[in-house]
Amino acid sequence: MVEFSGKIAVVTGTSGIGRAAAIALAKEGATVTALGIDPKANAELAEIAAGEALSLAVRQADVADEHQVAAVFEALGREHGGLDVIVNSAAVHPYGTVVTTEHEIFLRAYAVNVGSIQLTGKYGIPLMEKKGGGAILNIASVQGHACQKNVAAYVATKGAIHALTRAMALDHAKANVRVNSISPGSVRTPILELAARTFDGDDADVEDAFRRFGAAHPIGRIGEPEEVARLVCFLASEKSGFITGADYRIDGGLLAGLGVA
């Protein structure tokens, strides 16, 4: 019997870690709804799901928009009567300091990276309560613990995710809703490709940049989305039933040492 047989899951973000998590949960038997704003990424994930005959539906949605999120969860409630897993992976990554970042961009980063977690919780947790509990995984970042320069908005949101995860875990523990966060290091995603092009220019050799980023990690490489997805599946499963309110780093040892010779 597969781990998530009969379980209902929602994943936000249809590329990178979100895509990998949606596919992994579906392969383990879950019925998954993936929400994404990028039509190209949505179409690619839908094609994978169809090709592998996965129980994985892809819906176009801006997860920072309350009306769109509410509509998705109301439909899930009507169709399935409850919910078991939420994976909050949708994110944007603006570059800039607090001086150079436009305020609208700063607010949009919060709306997507943090506000979407509040919205999926607002409409998803009552559905979890109907099934006697559930698991929520919030994808944060090592940059919520320690950060680069010129990423003020992004790191502010990732630190907020760590704090919000703790608050949600405490508030909903009695309803048997577990809430944890995952903080990846450098992982092969569109956001990491954006980093390569930001640092090296639009004509960057992305794979060369990835090798350089990987060399900064003691393990000597960047991570793969599927590796993060395996941690998602563990933390969403009954195997982790005594774990809540925690942050799990999956960073190839990046934060284990000091950057000095």
The residues annotated with a catalytic role in the active site are: 154
- Alpha-carbon distance 42 to 13, whole Å? 9
Q: Which residue has the tokens 């995952």?
A: 182
Q: How far is residue 5 from each of residues 32, 175, 184, measured CA to CA in Å?
A: 11, 22, 27
- Identify whether the C-beta of residue 216 lies closer than 8 Å to the C-beta of residue 109: no
- For residue 157, the tally of other CB atoms under 10 A from its CB is 27
CB distance 131 to 82 below 8 Å = yes
CA distance 246 to 240: 11
